[in-house]
Amino acid sequence: MLSNLAVRDVETLIHPYTNLALVRETGPLVLERGHGVWVYDTDGRPYLEGMAGLWCTSLGYSNEELVEAARDQMARLPFSHLFSGRSHDPAIELAETLKEIAPIPVSKVFFTSSGSEANDTQVKLTWYLNNALGRPRKKKIIAQRKGYHGVTVASASLTGLPANHADWDLPLPGFLHAACPHHYRGAEAGESEEAFSARLAAELDAFIQREDPDTVAAFIAEPVMGAGGAIVPPKGYFAAIQRVLAAYDIRFIADEVICGFGRLGTWFGAEAMEVRPHSLSFAKAVTSGYMPLGGVTVEEPLYQAMLDESRKIGTFGHGTTYSGHPVACAVAIKTLEIYRRDRIVEGVAEKAPHFQRRLSALAEHPLVGEARGVGLIGGLEIVADKASKRQYDPKAGVAARCVAFAQAEGLIVRFLAGDRVALCPPLVIAPDEIDTLFDRLGRALDRTAEWIRQEGLQAV
């Protein structure tokens, strides 16, 4: 029987990325409080938050400095906006800091409220740029299959996941998808990571040629794919594709919404993956998830085009009410201060080998075909047959069952399409908590194997 809170939930809320029919039967997991890497349900039961919320709560829960930063700003200036030339200290200071730590030259910063809005803005700015440059045909944008870039109409068109397109009438025309750089699934027999990367680059080149390079404006990619399966690109991938993009004057956007601010052991994922984009999209860990905030970096040529368009049109006709919200910016300033002061990024680099060793060891489990990651992010793929890589029927929901068993063990992780399980704990996780995470996940995999045996599931 569902609790009173659960009944109220199913009668009032729509849950994103949820089987809405199933949750009416099972009810939600209602969380009440959190501290460090732990969250607690309404019965007081603790769970190790192995997904940092949604890839975002990097400093863990109940960080008093972040709470105080929000409280102070709300008492001083709870709201202002950046429209019509208005400004405020938190937005200015945050933009200055972001320019300082960015791994690429940045002229200006434009703030949004989310990663979806940031990538939606990237689309509009790319179109705006090419109109300003007198290239009205150069508008197509290439993303990757299994890439994730958000859920607005434009950003969901960038996203390369079937569930984000099915019955939504997406993607819109002009949004294209190149091959997913997943060596485990995409490589030919005996093909090395470097050879696979070279092949994908050649395929991208041919793809652009077929579309006509004069019509292709931008390419967007995550340094490490998040919602598409926590997929690490093969060796040499970004170096190979960047040469192709440069040859056709194609704007390269790095979606740092998940990888930015320390997740890979560097300030930005672009540094870890040797990506040299024109622009970055960011969100999530910029505030440790405590306040909604995102944004994009603006390169100097784009800024000059924006100036030209403002002179022509009379305004820069884009922006949202909460762009540069002072409370969100104040929390972000304090978050970045803590990252620097407490050496959070360096700490990730120090803890990552232990995390990755425990992750890699799961590849020995009978159900696990691939277990791979970088920094403090990882993904594993459940297979029915390790030799052939054959999987279970997707309708069986094997990864979802594994995640449910993990929750029963007191661990929150996330299942993704393709029977993949993602791991992304808060960056402040301690070594012994890393061990707790993988011990519990191992038991969840064992319980999943037993459930598969009882159900008589077979490879398809």
CA torsion sign, 130 to 131 to 137 to 141?
positive
Mean pLDDT of all residues belonging to the chain: 97
* Average pLDDT of span 218-245: 98
C-alpha span between 421 and 402 (Å, rounded): 8
> What confidence tens digit (pLDDT) does each residue in 119-161 have?
999 999 999 999 999 999 999 999 999 999 999 999 999 999 9
> What confidence tens digit (pLDDT) does each residue in 371-405 have?
999 999 999 999 999 999 999 999 999 999 999 99
**Amino acid 2: pLDDT:** 82
Question: Cα-Cα-Cα-Cα dihedral of 360, 361, 366, 368, to 10°?
Answer: -20
The model's confidence at residue 324, banded by pLDDT at 50, 70 and 90, is very high
**Amino acid 3: pLDDT:** 87
What are φ and ψ of residue 278, in 5° steps?
-80, -35
Residue with tokens 């109409």: 153
Residue with tokens 């997913």: 180
> What confidence tens digit (pLDDT) does each residue in 425-440 have?
999 999 999 999 999 9
> What confidence tens digit (pLDDT) does each residue in 16-26 have?
999 999 999 99
* Average pLDDT of span 191-219: 98
CB atoms near residue 86 (< 10 Å): 10
The model's confidence at residue 1, banded by pLDDT at 50, 70 and 90, is confident
Instruction: Give pTM, 2 decimals.
Output: 0.96
**Amino acid 32: pLDDT:** 96
The SS3 of residue 168 is: coil
What tokens were used for 138? 């150069």
Phi-psi label, residue 140: left if phi above 0, alpha if psi -120 to 50, beta otherwise? beta
**Amino acid 136: pLDDT:** 97
By DSSP bridging, strand 294-298 and strand 108-112 are: antiparallel
> What confidence tens digit (pLDDT) does each residue in 84-111 have?
999 999 999 999 999 999 999 999 999 9
- The CA-CA-CA angle for residues 69, 82, 76, to 5°, reads 30
List all residues 6 or more positions away from 226 whose beta carbon is below 8 Å from its beta carbon.
55, 148, 257, 258, 259, 377, 422, 424
Percent of the chain whose predicted confidence (pLDDT) is above 90: 99
C-alpha span between 438 and 365 (Å, rounded): 12
